[in-house]
């Protein structure tokens, strides 16, 4: 992929630098994407019941019930014909390509004082060709028997969710289902078709201010402030199921709202089901001052805008009601509609450096994290309840809006480090 960069320094002391770059990047297509038509891509197995007749808590072959009654369930395995991998239920578009990113960066740095520089950078990125279909919010799109691929024309609105979020924001959100004509023809498609999402792209535009003071005259400083916007652009063919769905994919949090902010759901370890990454501003300041007698005092100050909450309702259109039977988690507020409180954190460190030998030092330190003992809420239960289309009733979730995570409390840490 092409990349081009240019740097120019001017002034008598060359203390002002202009920088610019253009780059295009292509993502790697993962094995999970290209292997979806292969039924044997995953392990093939069957679960059978067994009886511990000799009570040794171990399975022997003669204790396994291999009859039809003993079969519990299978994966990628047909017990009636074990050698047959079966008809693939998924497929990959023949024209599938790696998603691409176009990036432009321009900036200037100026050494205001010796060892102290200020900087400004502007970044623009455009993301295109985002993968769509396999294991995503609109995955039920492909009929492996006929090769039929659903479009938004195969969906019809069946409900309108209305109400108010716990933060007082009113919502009116339509919910769609596969239309009766499509259901009568092919039913609910069982497979996925992985394609590059049409009529859809994301753009990022951000400004960054930096200040850097190298360690000199007993002190150092690094500071930055960023303001950005990351939005999605959805055209007429940008959605298959027009419902605004909650998703854990790297597409976005609301699939069909044109010009909405992109708020990607965290996929980190632990319980992070209500974390959607999007802060339009954030800053960080880190500094250290060298005191007499080998003491060093350091501080770190961090702040960012609170992430979106993304309230949602689970809506089901039962097959008994003539619907497709699918359960949809419907986001009822825009990504910028309701946010958690902004996060601020102050950390301090005091250390004493002692010389043991000419080549070894002993450092005794004391750290304090979250000095002001903030208890900012980071996660709430963002599911508001469930809606049943057959009865037209909404059942609130009793735990809705309850706190799931707060910032870690004030912590003191003491340490000793030997360097040689």
pLDDT tens per residue across span 67-92: 888 888 887 777 778 777 777 778 88
Distances (CA, A) of 380 to 239, 363, 374: 28, 41, 17
Q: Pairing state of beta strands 91-92 and 193-196?
A: parallel
Mean pLDDT over residues 142-161, rounded? Answer: 85
Q: Which H or E run contains 233?
A: strand 219-234
Q: What is the pLDDT of residue 142?
A: 73
- pTM, two decimals, is 0.84
Look at residues 89, 8, 32, 16 and name the one whose alpha carbon lies nearest to residue 250.
32
Q: How far apart are CA 80 and CA 32, in angstroms?
A: 28
Look at residues 105, 121, 126 and name the one whose alpha carbon lies nearest to residue 203.
126
As a whole number, the mean pLDDT across the chain is: 88
Radius of gyration of the chain (CA): 28
Examine the pLDDT at 254 and tell me if it is beyond 80: no
Q: How confident is the model at residue 249 (pLDDT cuts 50, 70, 90)?
A: very low
Which range (13-27, 132-146, 210-224) has the least confidence?
Answer: 132-146
Q: How far apart are CA 261 and CA 339, in angstroms?
A: 12
pLDDT in tens, 15-67: 999 999 999 999 888 877 777 777 776 777 888 999 999 999 999 999 999 88
- What SS3 state is found at 24? strand
pLDDT in tens, 353-396: 998 898 999 999 999 999 999 999 999 999 999 999 888 899 99
Examine the pLDDT at 141 and tell me if it is beyond 50: yes
Examine the pLDDT at 251 and tell me if it is beyond 50: no
Q: What is the pLDDT of residue 136?
A: 46
Backbone angles phi, psi at 104, to 5 degrees: -125, 130
Q: When comparing pLDDT for 143 and 54, which is higher?
A: 54
Q: Which H or E run contains 186?
A: helix 180-186
Q: Tokens 């990047």, residue?
A: 25
Examine the pLDDT at 194 and tell me if it is beyond 80: yes
Q: What is the pLDDT of residue 6?
A: 97
Q: Which H or E run contains 227?
A: strand 219-234
Backbone angles phi, psi at 363, to 5 degrees: -115, 120
The two structure tokens encoding residue 44: 């093939």
Rounded-to-10 torsion of CA 130, 136, 138, 144: 100
Q: How far apart are CA 158 and CA 177, in angstroms?
A: 6
């Amino acid at each position: 992929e092409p990349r081009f960069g240019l740097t120019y320094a001017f002034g008598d002391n060359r203390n002002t630098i202009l920088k610019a770059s253009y780059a295009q990047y292509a993502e790697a297509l993962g094995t999970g994407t290209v292997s979806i038509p292969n039924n044997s891509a995953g392990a093939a197995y069957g679960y059978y019941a067994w009886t511990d007749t000799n009570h040794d808590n171990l399975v022997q072959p003669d204790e396994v019930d291999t009859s039809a009654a003993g079969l519990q369930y299978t994966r990628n395995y047909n017990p009636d014909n074990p050698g047959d991998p079966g008809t693939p239920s998924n497929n990959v578009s023949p024209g599938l390509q790696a998603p691409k990113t176009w990036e432009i960066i321009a900036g200037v740095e100026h050494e205001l004082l010796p060892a102290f520089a200020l900087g400004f950078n502007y970044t623009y990125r455009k993301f295109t060709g985002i993968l769509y279909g396999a294991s995503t919010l609109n995955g039920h799109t492909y009929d492996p028997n006929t090769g039929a691929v659903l479009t938004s024309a195969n969906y019809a609105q069946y409900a309108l969710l209305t109400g108010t979020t716990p933060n007082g924001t009113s919502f009116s959100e339509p919910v769609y289902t596969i239309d009766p004509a499509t259901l009568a023809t092919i039913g609910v498609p069982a497979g996925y078709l992985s394609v590059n999402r049409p009529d859809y792209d994301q753009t990022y535009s951000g400004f960054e201010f930096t200040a850097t003071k190298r360690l000199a005259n007993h002190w150092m400083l690094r500071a930055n402030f960023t303001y950005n916007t990351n939005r999605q652009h959805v055209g007429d063919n940008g959605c298959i199921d027009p419902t605004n769905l909650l998703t854990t994919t790297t597409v976005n949090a609301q699939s069909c709202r044109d010009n909405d902010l992109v708020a990607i759901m965290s996929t980190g370890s632990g319980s992070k089901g209500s974390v959607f990454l999007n802060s339009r501003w954030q800053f960080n300041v880190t500094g250290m001052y060298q005191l007499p007698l080998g003491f060093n005092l350091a501080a770190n100050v961090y702040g960012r805008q609170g992430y979106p909450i993304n309230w949602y309702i689970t809506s089901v259109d039962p097959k008994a009601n003539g619907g497709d039977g699918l359960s949809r988690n419907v986001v009822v507020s825009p990504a910028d509609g309701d946010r958690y409180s902004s996060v601020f954190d102050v950390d301090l460190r005091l250390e004493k450096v002692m010389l043991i030998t000419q080549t070894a030092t002993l450092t005794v330190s004391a750290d304090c994290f979250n000095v002001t003992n903030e208890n900012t809420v980071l996660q709430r239960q963002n599911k508001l309840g469930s809606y049943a289309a057959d009865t037209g009733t909404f059942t609130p979730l009793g735990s809705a809006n309850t706190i799931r995570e707060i910032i870690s409390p004030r912590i003191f840490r003491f340490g000793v480090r030997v360097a040689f």
